[in-house]
Structure 1
Amino acid sequence: MVQKFQEYSGWRSGVIAALERYRARIEHAGLSDAASDQRFARVAARLVDDKLTIAFVAEFSRGKSELINAIFFADYGQRILPTSAGRTTMCPTELGYDETFPPCIRLLPIETRSEAQSTSDFKDQSNVWTVLPLDIASGDGMLEAFKQVSLTKHVSIADAKKYGLYDETDPDIDLALNEQGLVEISQWRHAIVNFPHPLLKQGLIIIDTPGLNAIGTEPELTLNLIPNANAVLFILAADTGVTKSDV
């Protein structure tokens, strides 16, 4: 996969260079105008902004975060994304790189689900995001920052319904309630990690999703993202293989 993506990135860079050479020849021949310049600019911008999004999907405790740690954070010598038995990825976590931002984690509050806007709609609204700087030179600093992604809160059933995270028809929904009758939900709707890994710099975006079989609200957050991914990597457990809940 890594080799294929690097080949694609090289092809894209070649197309951008060829497009610029062609634009220069047109301009040198005196054949360019404002309309053609705009068309060249649009095509070049589309190529530069082209991304490949891969969603890592599985039941919880299947090793999604472990695999991402091994691919992107192995040099730190420790697990940067939280990993343990049970639920650890509480909200979709998007790994990518945008050179216009410093290394950081941007966190979108779960309360934004009560508004009629998608996660994409909020991406240009910097005032609604909580931003945590990333010290990429410190493994311990990275670890502490990533722990914030797993934070949860307890809300009333009414609030959970308002956020679209409480389904009364789910026979297991009562298991998501605590003794006070409150629902545990993720504190965040979405997390965007801006990290300068070579693959991410080339336009790869990885999405670590909450477990599909979790009792609670996380599956709803996952299912909304899958249609927008270019590819889905579905991870199974080596000791159990395909289970009933996988299908």
Structure 2
Amino acid sequence: MEYLGEVKQKLLQGRFNLVVLGEFKRGKTTFLNALLGADLLPTAVVPLTSIVTLIQYGERISAKVTFLDGVVEETTLDELHLYVTEEGNPCNEKNVKLVHLEYPSPYLKDGVVLIDTPGVGSIYQNNTDETYNYLPKVDAAIFLLSSDQPISRSELDFLKDIGQYSAKTFFILNKVDYLTDLDKKKALEFAKKVLAEKVGLEEINIYSLSAKLALDGKISGDDEKIKASNLPAFTAMLEKFLLKEKGRAAINATCNKGNNAAGELQLGLELEMKALGIPLEELKAKIVLFDEMVINLRQEQEDNGYIFQGEKSKVYQELEHEITVFQESQDIMIVKEIEQEY
């Protein structure tokens, strides 16, 4: 399977995708800017981000745009809005696949890739589709909630979908600078209760902070603003995770993606077996449907998780061997059944 080659490439590159997710206008892009300490990505008061943006480590700041036809063009931070925003690139009329940024942040060392995604649930369906299509590439997620809006049904459904891929999800309650201490406490308690009852997430930590206040403090060099934003509590936890737990999370994410690949193969074989007893025209229709499903699954599962060096070769070889043996045995049986039938 072509997908296994992609698994191997991802393992060898040692990337770890830390993806920022949430509904539209939760402050995801502002949070990323605050985390990196610079006004890198464009923000606005209307639903803005429309294209996935990958931020990797680099000694100097650079930006590249990759288009759907494979063409790559260099751009500047000042021109990013022309490609990644709904205003500058409505409904992705410029056929942008994604944007790559390089930035010298300590959070991006050792293969960590921070990823900004379009918010789901807005009137722009293409933005929601863009984010959902990227979920299979998630190794760990930072999920933003907003203190000025209760958790919605669509957010709960989105979290369930994220859980199929992400090995670890961090929760942030953003925009708490608008709340009193009492209201902040109530908002946190409500969010924890809903997540426990509706999604089954028990004993989770939700970090309350103000991304806007943190970004203002980072840009102006105002330590008091940074402290008041509560961002340092989250970054301390994140640094510990990246140092001590990233490897385990990467292994879990890789196993999830390997199971998805095996499930894709099994689904295909089951469809083929069921096809043996149906009329020719229906058989052709089933084959077309199967091919479409495979294409969609492969598009959704292009990347795979990072794994420790000692585990890379073993995991890949075992998975490839098991699938090859299973596929060969099933192919022989299918051919025999077809020969007997016709």
Q: TM-score, normalised by structure 1?
A: 0.52
Unaligned segments of structure 2, at least 5 residues: 1-9, 157-342
Matched to 2:110, the amino acid is Q
- CA–CA separation in structure 1 for the residues paired with 2:88 and 2:149: 33
The answer to whether the Cα contact below 8 Å between 2:48 and 2:87 also exists between their aligned partners in 1 is no
C-alpha deviation, 1:224, in angstroms: 1.1
Q: 1: distance between equivalents of 2:87 and 2:21? A: 23
Residue of structure 2 equivalent to 1:148: 82
SS in 2 for 1:223: helix
Does residue 1:228 correspond to 2:137, yes or no?
yes
Q: How does 1:162-241 map to 2 (within 5 A)?
A: 184-186=90-92, 187=94, 188-216=96-124, 217-241=126-150
TM superposition shift of 1:152 = 5.0
User: Aligned equivalents of 1:204 and 1:66: distance in 2?
Assistant: 19
User: Does the CA contact (< 8 Å) of 2:20 and 2:141 recur in 1?
Assistant: yes
Q: CA deviation at 1:151?
A: 4.7
Q: Would you say 1:94 and 2:54 are equivalent positions? A: yes
> Within 2, Cα distance between the matches of 1:212 and 1:152?
13
Q: Does 1:51 align with 2:9?
A: no
Q: Which has the higher helix share?
A: 2
Aligned-pair CA distance for 1:148: 3.1
Given that 1:53 and 1:204 are in contact with CA atoms closer than 8 Å, whether structure 2 keeps it comes out as yes
Q: Secondary structure at the match of 1:202?
A: coil
SS of 1:235's equivalent in the other structure is strand
Number of matched residues? 145
Counterpart selection for 2:31 from 47, 63, 67:
67
**Matches of 2:35 and 2:22 in 1, distance apart?**
17
The CA deviation at 1:129 is 0.9
Aligned to 1:176: none
**Aligned pair 1:129/2:63, yes or no?**
no
Larger radius of gyration: 2
| Partner of residue 32, structure 1 | none
Tell me if the contact between 1:56 and 1:206 (Cα under 8 Å) persists in the aligned partners: yes
Structure 2 distance, partners of 1:88, 1:153, is 7
Name the CA distance, whole Å, in 2 between partners of 1:81 and 1:129. 19
Matched position secondary structure for 2:83: helix
CA 86–152 in structure 1, closer or farther in 2 if over 3 Å, else same: closer
RMSD: 2.8
Structure 1: tracts of 5 or more residues without a match: 1-44, 113-121, 123-127, 134-141, 156-183
The correspondence of residues 12-91 of structure 1 with structure 2, limited to 5 A, is: 49-72=13-36, 74=37, 76=38, 79-91=39-51
- SS at 2:146 equivalent: coil
Aligned partners of 1:153 and 1:185 also within 8 Å: no
Counterpart-to-counterpart distance in 1, 2:86 and 2:46: 14
Residues 241 and 152 (structure 1), Cα distance of their counterparts in 2 relative to 1, 3 Å cut: closer
Q: 1:63 to 1:214 in 2, by over 3 A?
A: same
Task: Show CA shifts across 1:86-108 (max 9, x none).
Answer: 21111001111257xx6321112
**Residue identity in the other structure for 2:31:** L
- Tell me if the contact between 1:226 and 1:232 (Cα under 8 Å) persists in the aligned partners: no
Give the share of equivalent positions with the same residue, in percent: 24
8 Å CA contact 2:63–2:74 kept in 1: the answer is yes
TM-score by length of 2: 0.38
Q: Comparing both chains, which one has the higher relative contact order based on Cα–Cα distances under 8 Å and sequence gaps of 6 or more? A: 1
Tell me if structure 2 keeps the 8 A contact 1:95–1:205.
yes
Query: Residues 147 and 222 of structure 1: is their aligned pair in 2 closer, same or farther, counting only changes over 3 Å?
Result: same
Matched residue type, 1:130:
E
Instruction: Return the alpha-carbon distance in structure 1 between the equivalents of residues 107 and 29 of structure 2.
Output: 17
Q: Shift of the alpha carbon at 1:153?
A: 8.1
Contact 2:27 2:144 in 1 (8 A): yes
Give 3-state SS (helix, strand or coil) of 2:141's partner.
strand
Name the amino acid aligned to 1:93: T
Structure 2 counterpart of 1:199, one-letter code: Y
Distance 1:201 1:245, change over 3 A: same
